[in-house]
Structure 1
Amino acid sequence: MLGHCIADGRLELVSVLGLGAYGVVYLARDLTHPLHQQPGFYAVKVLNKVGLDQRQRRFQRREITLHTLASNHPSVVGLHRVIDADDDPCVYVIMDFCPDGDLFSMITEQQRYADVFFQILDAVQFCHGLGIYHRDLKPENILCLQGGARVVLADFGLATGDKFSGDFGCGSTFYMGPECQGGITKRLTEYDTAANDVWSLGVILVNLICGRNPWKQACPGDETFREYLRNPDFLQDILPISDETNKLLKRIFTIREEWRCTLPELRKMVANISRFT
């Protein structure tokens, strides 16, 4: 696919930016741009159509539709154009190129904890207002601009318009809540996708503050999470967090979805924290 041109020969795929379960993201150079520099580069997600059944194609279209709706927000990666020709085996989703990588690889300075997190929160809250639930919030899906001062939400491959879902295990185990894994005290038939996004935001906040995850998986089989179930203040024993941050995390990492804070509540609590560590 490298060297392949799309958009009537305007864009050339020059390198691979990332590989995912549902597609490959390429760096594309705008051949009409005189200097071949920003803004002459784009990220192009290439989705294969060959061999997909109707359900898989429906998921593909859902990703594109939901991303298109959400991309009007400044903290969501911009989507410029979708090329889906009948005679081409691939769909091409042309997006903004974010040259500074993702949040996972970006070391965020302490004074920018809240600023960066608020941008992520803004994007998620905007999506929820449109009835879009991301279900795969993690640092790898948050891209950086301006040296990390600005971040944008990306990858709507697992996003859904369903407020409640029975699609368990959707996303990364590091970032999904226990309800997304079927529940802890009882077997669930569905889970609240908005509440699961809030849980993921809590793990991302721990990433920003501490540079690590609170646990590998929010399930009783995980030793750290099991200790948290026994003692909700356990995170303060193993993480460099303040009393205020610990109180906030306990409102996010609730076992029952209905006890979990909402996005507006989360925003207010983060804004009121005087020190994170």
Structure 2
Amino acid sequence: MVHQDTYWSQLSASMVDKVVGQEFQLLEVLGHGAYGCLFLGQSLVDSSYVAVKVLTKSGLDHQQQKLQQLEIDIQTSLKHPNLLALHRSIQDDDYIYMVMELCDQGDLFDYVIRDQDENFVREEHVVKKFFSQILDGVERMHANGVYHRDLKLENILLKCENDDDEDDLTCKVADFGLATRERYSMEFGCGSTSYLAPEHFDDDKQTELVPYDAAASDSWSLGVLLLALMFGRNPWQEASSADAAFTEFKRSPSMLKEQLFPELSSATYRLLASILAVDGADRPSISDIKERFLSIDRLYVDEDDDFYVSEIKKESPVSIPTVSTKYADITSFDSAFFSGGTGSSWSDMVEEDEEEAALSKSIDFSSNHKQPQACFTQYDDEDTDMFVHSGEKESWWL
């Protein structure tokens, strides 16, 4: 991993000013990781700016090449204002160049971090606008038989579409490295730990593996994402019996409002309780979530709400630290370059702080756990922010 990262660090500098496809010039290195790098590019035709992700073809076996091409095919096939556009894919003997639209306003994680300094919760109109756009994008994906499998704040990019109004931001669902066209999957642990649905964890002690519903898994992730967007923290670190908050939620779902997020309106709580159904078969589709979300008058409580905040017991069954610093994601792998135990994603294109990265450790799949086809890494659960990362990073897309 370190050797590959050094390789890209050295190579990326030498690629500045290179022209690819006789149309795009690489202007500046925006980030690099173990499996590729990201550049600011410019069209030689109309001078527009783009993001160019450069991936190596060297050292990949046939299956890895197929998975790499799958991401390109999926992103090329998806056209929607709330999905990150892939303009072109250019290849030479050694590299693939993915020319994508440039999102210049950061990602939703960074937005929440900045806003958290001033506001305890996000303003209602902001949440409604952003989450509706995210639902629109994911709804289009599902309608086209594509399932993201790594929905989280960090994978929602922000773009200013109106030069006259810097606050007029549009959400773009990004990073399709884990996306699949298979509705039912055996790739357990595919995604980021704190956003994974319960079916990715071995809590039912079944001896026989059964596929999980990738659409229902996306719905769960969006429920966690909505809470993270509203409050700047996740409800639990993982949806398994190893997590005290989730265990209490599983026993009594009302604790989501009564103890964790008393500011939720009753209507918002009811929607979230259905999205976060432990059984994936009970979760609403993205279209149903969208319909119910748009019908909610108030996301937060007021004095007339039947669960007004002053009547809520403030004690929580677990410590709920708030988010502070953004860290490099260590809880996901990329299907295009996954090799057992790496727990890394080439699409993150980051420079990790090695000391922080050392906090990552592999899950011990003991006799109590089903061994999935693909493993994910896990963090220590003591003194850990509810946004779980390790190692400060720059976003791969900029």
Alpha-carbon distance between aligned partners in 2 of 1:223 and 1:23, rounded to the nearest angstrom: 38
**Length-normalised TM-score, structure 2:** 0.64
Alpha-carbon distance between aligned partners in 1 of 2:36 and 2:247, rounded to the nearest angstrom: 35
Q: Give 1:150's aligned residue.
A: 170
Alpha-carbon distance between aligned partners in 2 of 1:193 and 1:185, rounded to the nearest angstrom: 21
Alpha-carbon distance between aligned partners in 1 of 2:31 and 2:264, rounded to the nearest angstrom: 34
Equivalent positions of 1:92-111 (< 5 A) are: 92-107=97-112, 109-111=123-125
- Greater C-alpha Rg: 2
Instruction: Determine if contact 2:71/2:177 at 8 Å carries over to the other structure.
Output: yes
Q: 1:230 aligns with which of 231, 240, 251?
A: 251
Alpha-carbon distance between aligned partners in 2 of 1:23 and 1:228, rounded to the nearest angstrom: 40
Task: Determine what percentage of the aligned residue pairs are the same residue.
Answer: 38
Equivalent positions of 1:93-172 (< 5 A) are: 93-107=98-112, 109-146=123-160, 147=167, 149-172=169-192
Instruction: Determine if contact 1:15/1:28 at 8 Å carries over to the other structure.
Output: no
Deviations 1:119-155 (CA, angstroms, capped at 9, x unpaired): 1111111111111111011111110012462111111
Instruction: Determine if contact 1:166/1:189 at 8 Å carries over to the other structure.
Output: yes
Q: Give 2:214's aligned residue.
A: 193
Cα offset for 1:4?
4.7
Alpha-carbon distance between aligned partners in 2 of 1:18 and 1:145, rounded to the nearest angstrom: 22
Q: 1:76 aligns with which of 71, 83, 98?
A: 83
Are the structure 2 counterparts of residues 175 and 148 from structure 1 closer, same or farther at C-alpha, using a change threshold of 3 Å? farther
Alpha-carbon distance between aligned partners in 1 of 2:249 and 2:36, rounded to the nearest angstrom: 37
Gaps of 5+ in 1: 35-39
Instruction: Determine if contact 2:147/2:181 at 8 Å carries over to the other structure.
Output: yes
Select the structure with the greater relative contact order (CA < 8 A; seq sep ≥ 6): 2
Gaps of 5+ in 2: 1-11, 113-121, 161-166, 301-398
Aligned length: 268
- Aligned with 1:174: secondary structure? helix
Cα offset for 1:31?
5.3
Instruction: Determine if contact 1:209/1:276 at 8 Å carries over to the other structure.
Output: no
Alpha-carbon distance between aligned partners in 2 of 1:244 and 1:193, rounded to the nearest angstrom: 26
Instruction: Determine if contact 2:156/2:173 at 8 Å carries over to the other structure.
Output: yes
Alpha-carbon distance between aligned partners in 1 of 2:255 and 2:35, rounded to the nearest angstrom: 37
Are the structure 2 counterparts of residues 17 and 151 from structure 1 closer, same or farther at C-alpha, using a change threshold of 3 Å? farther
Deviations 1:80-108 (CA, angstroms, capped at 9, x unpaired): 110112x2x21110000000011111145
Confirm or deny that 1:24 pairs with 2:37: yes
Q: Give 1:59's aligned residue.
A: 67
Alpha-carbon distance between aligned partners in 1 of 2:105 and 2:32, rounded to the nearest angstrom: 14
Alpha-carbon distance between aligned partners in 1 of 2:294 and 2:62, rounded to the nearest angstrom: 45
Alpha-carbon distance between aligned partners in 2 of 1:23 and 1:194, rounded to the nearest angstrom: 29
Instruction: Determine if contact 2:220/2:275 at 8 Å carries over to the other structure.
Output: yes
What RMSD in Å do the two structures reach over aligned CA positions? 1.9
Q: 1:10 aligns with which of 21, 24, 35?
A: 24
Q: Give 2:386's aligned residue.
A: none
